[in-house]
Chain A
Amino acid sequence: MAEITRNTVPAISVTNLSHAFKGHQALSQVTFCVMPQTLHGFVGPNGAGKTTTLKAICTLLKPSWGEVQVFGSSVRADPIAVRRRIGFMPDHFSMYRQMTVFEYLDFFAAAYGLPLKQRDSVIHDVLTLTDMDGRRNDLISGLSRGMQQRVSLARVLVHDPDLLLLDEPASGLDPRARIELMEILRELRRMGKTVFISSHILSELAELCDSVTIIDRGQIKFSGPMDVLLENPDEQPLYNLRLAAVSETAMQQIKVLPGVESVSEPEFTTGRDFNILLSPNISANDFLRELLNLNLPITAFSQQRRHLNQAFMDLTTRGVRT
């Protein structure tokens, strides 16, 4: 990813984007960029401006101020070129329910200018990817919500876009469908697509995304790699230690090691887990070396990372935007 960052044009580049609806400032000086072939999460509370930003990126909305570029093409100056490279999946179901799955995809493939000969193989591929090949002749109106979501995703992929813009793709899906959708998104990243995903499901975004942008009240609160967000440089490092068996003297042994400020047991554990707070002047490497010398049956040692939920709560404001 680092190499991509240095050498390529950003997939999305948003600079000083501002937009107002009837006197209500929806976006204010929004600036961020998304690198190609990454999975980028876009999170924020309700009414934060996520959908407005997405609409500006996918050429549906002409912003009042600012510049949005997709792979170097301006959405304002060359919307048709931008549309050829993006696939936008809105947050609501917008499907022609009287069509079959195949007809629906055939229609969009033709609308994107794919020749007839190519359409069959493309539709077959996207249906296979979304695991809907067996339902190609079913009416869309007869499909479940999860299946309709898959068809919607297949529609987005039918013209082989470089950038996928997904607005709340997992909303309303059951856990299985959600997990399967995330698998498909991982597969798409492996295929070299850039995925820009707006979602409320933070736990899944944390696992899935390479980078994230947090927006609140129309302003960007954070934009960058997920690792940077989850590490908090202001806080002292906290480590988790797990032992293979319960040891009554373990806590006492660890407490006296150099650099240890405190050792505690997390709630609801069986006595094998410990939280260790180290002083800033000792490295994790040095501490682990000392720990190994105690000959404890260690099975896991890791730095406790801030959860995305926590970062989200820290960065965003309580209450609904008025």
Chain B
Amino acid sequence: MISGVLTLFNWTLKMDSKSIYPHVIRAVFAFLMMFSIGAAFVNAFGNNSIGLRLFETICLFNVILITVSGISYFVTAVTEEKDAGTYALLRLAGMNSLSITLGKSTSRLVSSLMLLVIQLPFTFLSITLGGILWQQIVASYIALAAWMALVANLALFCSVRCATSGRAAGLAGTILGIFFFSPVIITNGLAALPAGLLSKSVTSFLESIPPALSSVSVMARLSELLGTSSFNGIPFSGGASGGNLPLGASGRELAFFGGQFWLSLIIAFVLFVFSTLTLDLWSAPAEVSGFSSNQKLRRWSVSRCWRLAIAWKEFLYFTGGRSFLITKMVCGGVLVAGFIFFQQLEGRFSGLTLQGENGWGLLLTLTGWLTIESLLYSSGCLFYEIRQSTQSTLATVPMSSTRVLAEKLAGCAMGLVPVLFWMLVAVLIGYASISDHCSATMVISYLIILSFSVHISVLLSLYTRWAALPLTILVSFPAFFCLAAPIYALAVTTEQIARSQHFRMSVLISALVNMFWTWLFILLPLQIWIRDRWNHVSEH
């Protein structure tokens, strides 16, 4: 068994060192470090503790990167073998479950821990800059390493449980999403509900969830260790205030291994053992899910192919088709009704119009839905062809590649109709609330950033196997800072010039000018790149 584990471990590390993408990730990471230093220096004007600020930024990037790795890098440990159809060969080679889980996941954990190691020079810089002690840095890295172990093993579990990498990434993303956002939802939900609506036992159970999750949260631990308010606004910040761990900066004794460390390792170990034990149970090859073969159900859900055949295919088989469209429409309706219901419970307002924070809250929720759905479609619609090896067949259809891509876009856009419809409803019923918080410039900036992110995720899906979505988040995050300032400045300037020239539609002109320049200089080159890459991929 040992030789099998070592072989697999060795092979995975070699593959990792030969592949360009892990090195690109490391380079991006180094760039983010440089970005952190720049941000810390900008923050430093008029502030103390520059080193602490720098280290906080580094920690925040680490948490994001580790979490994103969970739904991209770690999650393919076993599913990449299932996808490639080589899982059975590993078993034929005499590898047992433990060899496979150890060999496939531990190597990834080791190579990811190296990412933490390369940060050491930057962290020494933060000690030099002041405001932080070396003990705090060591304790923070221990917390981050424990978080990485937890995420890696959670991803391993998803990888074992699911038949394909896509499903595993979806499951890991859902679990991590619940982990991060359920405390906020539970806390706010309980606060919004009138007293007595839920029984005491249910309320106390729900109230116990946020502290329980907080005890494993790396954010809470970092907030506790660094003793700053930088993690405010992030779920769990200050959630572990009941802990008795000392803060280095305040001169109290510092514990390197907190409860978060031990709990994370215990959960990681349990997940690892569970994954190993259930590996055989879930090792069946990927099956095609989706539509029923029942003819009545199929006739209802699958109509005859439209003239825009590729748009039909995308809408039906990629976005879920008519049945999923209706489901989303109903879910959107429930969401809007929920906001109206909560507003009624507050008792401050009546009627169907959303007022106060409610209209803005609903629009933000729907915007989040739109963003996630758009990014899921964009990162998957071309990759879906590559995964089924159908790109060359599609390329022999008498259409230009531009038209193929445009039809795919049209099919995915139809899947977005429910969320767009409910956004329109939200604007209509919560106009007063929304106009208090939102400006035209904000809308323009959001649309441009969303368009950019969508293009980037389409492009990345043509290069990477499963990491398109997390890499998009990584790229879009710094790109937002690069794009936001010029976009905002251009929007304001255009609007002011239009107003000074007494154009009534100044906001509209500002929007159009911004959209045009962004398309010409940012999106058009990306579109050409996507088309060329698609043509290249279709050759294989």
A and B: real partners? yes
B501 lies within 8 A of chain A by Cβ: no
Whether A98 and B290, one on each chain, are in contact in the complex, defined by CB atoms closer than 8 angstroms, is: yes
Shortest Cβ gap from A195 to chain B (Å): 16
Stretch of A99-107, A182-190, A246-254, A278-286 at the chain-chain interface: A99-107
Whether B392 and A98, one on each chain, are in contact in the complex, defined by CB atoms closer than 8 angstroms, is: no
Stretch of A85-93, A237-245, A293-301 at the chain-chain interface: A85-93
Count of A-B contacts judged by CB separation below 8 Å: 85
B390 lies within 8 A of chain A by Cβ: yes
Shortest Cβ gap from B322 to chain A (Å): 14
Whether A61 and B293, one on each chain, are in contact in the complex, defined by CB atoms closer than 8 angstroms, is: no
Whether A106 and B304, one on each chain, are in contact in the complex, defined by CB atoms closer than 8 angstroms, is: yes
Which of B293, B317, B389 is A94 in contact with, Cβ under 8 Å?
B389
Per the bound structure, the CA–CA distance linking A108 and B538 in Å amounts to 17
Interface size of A in residues (CB-CB distance below 8 Å): 38
Residues of B within 8 A of A179 (CB): none
Whether B295 and A97, one on each chain, are in contact in the complex, defined by CB atoms closer than 8 angstroms, is: no
Q: Quick one: which of B278-308 are within 8 Å of A by CB? A: 287-291, 293, 295, 298, 302, 304-307
Whether B390 and A107, one on each chain, are in contact in the complex, defined by CB atoms closer than 8 angstroms, is: no
Per the bound structure, the CA–CA distance linking A95 and B309 in Å amounts to 15
A141 lies within 8 A of chain B by Cβ: yes
A192 lies within 8 A of chain B by Cβ: no
A contact patch SS = mixed
**A60-B538, A106-B305 are contacts. A111–B291 as well, Cβ < 8 Å?**
no
B323 lies within 8 A of chain A by Cβ: no
Per the bound structure, the CA–CA distance linking A104 and B29 in Å amounts to 44
B388 lies within 8 A of chain A by Cβ: yes
Whether B291 and A98, one on each chain, are in contact in the complex, defined by CB atoms closer than 8 angstroms, is: yes
Interface size of B in residues (CB-CB distance below 8 Å): 32
Whether A58 and B396, one on each chain, are in contact in the complex, defined by CB atoms closer than 8 angstroms, is: yes
A313 lies within 8 A of chain B by Cβ: no
Shortest Cβ gap from A75 to chain B (Å): 11
Per the bound structure, the CA–CA distance linking A55 and B317 in Å amounts to 28
**A90-B393, A103-B302, A106-B305 are contacts. A141–B287 as well, Cβ < 8 Å?**
yes
Residues of A within 8 A of B287 (CB): 141
**A60-B538, A60-B539, A97-B388 are contacts. A108–B302 as well, Cβ < 8 Å?**
no
Per the bound structure, the CA–CA distance linking A94 and B387 in Å amounts to 10
Whether A109 and B397, one on each chain, are in contact in the complex, defined by CB atoms closer than 8 angstroms, is: no
B435 lies within 8 A of chain A by Cβ: no
- Which chain B residue has the least Cβ–Cβ distance from A82? B398
Whether A60 and B388, one on each chain, are in contact in the complex, defined by CB atoms closer than 8 angstroms, is: no
Q: Which 6 A-B pairs have the closest CB atoms?
A: A110-B309, A110-B305, A111-B309, A83-B398, A141-B288, A94-B389
Q: Which residues of B contact A (CB under 8 A)?
A: 287-291, 293, 295, 298, 302, 304-307, 309-310, 312-313, 317, 388-393, 395-400, 538-539
Given known contacts A107-B313, A138-B293, what 16 new A-B pairs fall within 8 Å (CB)? A58-B396, A60-B392, A60-B539, A61-B539, A83-B398, A94-B389, A97-B288, A97-B388, A98-B288, A100-B293, A108-B397, A111-B397, A111-B399, A112-B397, A139-B293, A141-B288
22 A-B residue pairs with CB within 8 Å: A55-B392, A55-B539, A60-B396, A61-B539, A80-B398, A80-B400, A81-B398, A83-B398, A84-B398, A94-B388, A95-B388, A95-B390, A97-B388, A98-B290, A98-B291, A106-B304, A107-B312, A112-B398, A137-B293, A139-B293, A141-B288, A155-B393
